């Protein structure tokens, strides 16, 4: 991926627009991260007004987006959902047809839906708008309980910060886990969050802050090679198994087993990128036990084999000791 076009239209949301600029538009070459040819485009160049009153000047029309490797669609006002600009929908449709990446943030999914490229596919949007999308686009399988959905090379994301999760998800596929983690650290955000929108709908803040379980998650990472049970983890947290499982899910949006499985994948990614270890050793170090189990889980989660992942992202410049498990997911 070398070129990125961000489509902005009248009534755009500044924060969601800024996510795309932060993820793809900054020069991070001092961290060894390749820069993208990044452009902001709009159907009618000139002053484009935001949904909170100020305007930005955009000199480029949609032409650049027709050749971009990634087309990002920012949110559009609700009043426009029934009259999506056919020029923008055409850009999205052509991008999908030529195999480019398409990524929408929040209500930008309505633009993608209007292009027809999501018919018969799974997608998401902000949970407040999910029912509307179901009514407007019955051929789309709308999932209101996730942060983002990838269907082929089309990624739709939920509201606001979930757009950043989607951007990092795409970057992991293009740049690998190690460079994407560097980007996330620069942003001071977790490289990957588990869970979904459901944990935020009725109860925006968990009853128990994740900091209270930090000693347990640290211990889980230190012992990632081992088979860890809820009973063991609950004992470490000085809780009953039932209370521990409930509080862990409230804090992290995932069960202890699901959270640990994701950490094992992340650790395997880093070992594949940063070491020459064989698959059996990586499986052991990551807690998968055998190369076969590693392959099965790795391929299921990332849709690529460990060998293919290493061929694409290997950069052997660290020792085994420098790639010990680290906490990559927070609530």
**pLDDT at position 206 over 70:** no
Structure-token pair, residue 209 = 């802050």
Judge whether 123 and 140 are in contact, CB under 8 Å. Answer: yes
Residue that the structure tokens 């969050």 belong to: 193
Q: Quote the pLDDT of residue 194.
A: 58
Band (118; pLDDT cuts 50, 70, 90): very high
Distance of alpha carbon 212 from the chain centroid: 26
**pLDDT at position 323 over 60:** no
* pTM of the predicted structure, to 2 decimals: 0.71
Band (166; pLDDT cuts 50, 70, 90): very high
**CA diameter of the chain:** 61
Q: Quote the pLDDT of residue 188.
A: 75
**pLDDT at position 200 over 80:** no
Query: pLDDT averaged over the chain?
Result: 88
Give the closest residue to 256 by CA, choosing from 237, 280, 228, 282. 228
Structure-token pair, residue 77 = 């006002």
Q: Quote the pLDDT of residue 192.
A: 64
Question: Average pLDDT for residues 206-217, to the nearest whole number?
Answer: 65
Band (191; pLDDT cuts 50, 70, 90): low
Distance in angstroms between the alpha carbons of the first and the last residue of the chain: 30
Q: Quote the pLDDT of residue 73.
A: 98
**pLDDT at position 202 over 50:** no
Q: Quote the pLDDT of residue 287.
A: 94
Query: For 196-232, b where at least 16 C-beta lie within 10 A, e where not — what string?
Result: bbebbeeeeebeeebeebeebbeebbeebbeebebeb
Q: Quote the pLDDT of residue 273.
A: 87
Pick 206 or 78 by higher pLDDT: 78
CATH architecture of the domain 3-187 equals: 3-Layer(aba) Sandwich (3.40)
Dihedral sign for Cα 164, 168, 169, 170, please.
positive
Q: Quote the pLDDT of residue 212.
A: 75
Q: How many other C-beta atoms are found inside a 10 Å radius of the C-beta of residue 296?
A: 12
Residues 11-50: pLDDT tens digits? 999 999 999 999 999 999 998 999 999 999 999 999 999 9
Annotated domain spans of the chain: 3-187, 205-331
The angle at the Cα of 329, spanning 328 to 331, to the nearest 5 degrees, equals 150
H or E segment to which residue 131 belongs:
helix 130-136
Structure-token pair, residue 67 = 């050749």
Give the closest residue to 231 by CA, choosing from 246, 222, 223, 241. 241
Superfamily of domain 205-331 in CATH is: Homeodomain-like (1.10.10.60)
Helices (H), strands (E): how many in the chain?
Answer: 14, 10
Distance CA 190, CA 162 (A): 12
Distance CA 257, CA 261 (A): 6
Band (239; pLDDT cuts 50, 70, 90): very high
Residues in the chain: 331
With a CB cutoff of 8 Å and minimum separation 6, the contacts of 217 are 210, 259, 327
Q: Quote the pLDDT of residue 314.
A: 78
**pLDDT at position 284 over 60:** yes
Pick 36 or 210 by higher pLDDT: 36
Band (134; pLDDT cuts 50, 70, 90): very high
Which of 23-27, 240-244, 262-266, 309-313 has the weakest average pLDDT? 309-313
DSSP, res 165 = H
**Alpha-carbon distance values, 52 to 16, 98, 244 (Å):** 13, 35, 43
């Amino acid at each position: 991926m070398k070129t990125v076009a961000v489509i902005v239209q009248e009534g755009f949301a500044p924060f969601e627009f800024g996510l795309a600029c932060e993820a793809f538009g900054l020069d991070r070459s001092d961290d060894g991260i390749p820069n993208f040819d990044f452009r902001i485009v709009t159907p009618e160049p000139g002053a484009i007004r935001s949904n909170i009153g100020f305007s930005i000047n955009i000199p480029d029309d949609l032409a650049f987006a027709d050749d971009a490797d990634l087309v990002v669609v920012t949110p559009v006002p609700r009043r426009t959902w029934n009259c999506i600009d056919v020029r923008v929908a055409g850009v999205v449709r052509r991008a999908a047809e030529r195999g480019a990446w398409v990524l929408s943030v929040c209500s930008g999914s309505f633009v993608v839906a209007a292009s027809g490229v999501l018919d018969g596919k799974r997608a998401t949007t902000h949970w407040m708008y999910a029912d509307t999308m179901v009514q407007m686009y019955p051929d789309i399988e709308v999932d209101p309980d996730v942060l983002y959905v990838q269907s082929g090379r089309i990624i739709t994301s939920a509201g606001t910060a979930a757009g950043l999760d989607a951007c990092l998800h795409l970057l992991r596929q293009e740049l690998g886990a190690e460079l994407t983690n560097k980007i996330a650290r620069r942003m001071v955000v977790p490289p990957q969050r588990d869970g979904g929108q459901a944990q935020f709908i009725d109860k925006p803040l968990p009853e128990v802050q994740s900091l209270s379980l930090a000693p347990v998650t640290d211990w889980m990472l230190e012992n990632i090679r081992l088979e860890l049970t809820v009973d063991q983890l609950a004992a470490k947290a000085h809780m009953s198994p039932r209370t521990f499982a409930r509080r862990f899910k409230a804090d992290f949006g995932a069960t202890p087993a699901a959270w640990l499985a994701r950490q094992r994948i992340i650790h395997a990614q880093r070992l594949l990128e940063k070491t020459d270890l064989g698959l059996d050793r990586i499986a052991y170090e990551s807690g998968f036990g055998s190369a076969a189990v590693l392959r099965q889980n790795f391929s299921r989660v990332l849709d690529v084999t460990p060998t293919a992942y290493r061929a694409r992202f290997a950069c052997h410049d660290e020792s085994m000791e420098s790639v010990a498990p680290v906490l990559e997911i927070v609530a």
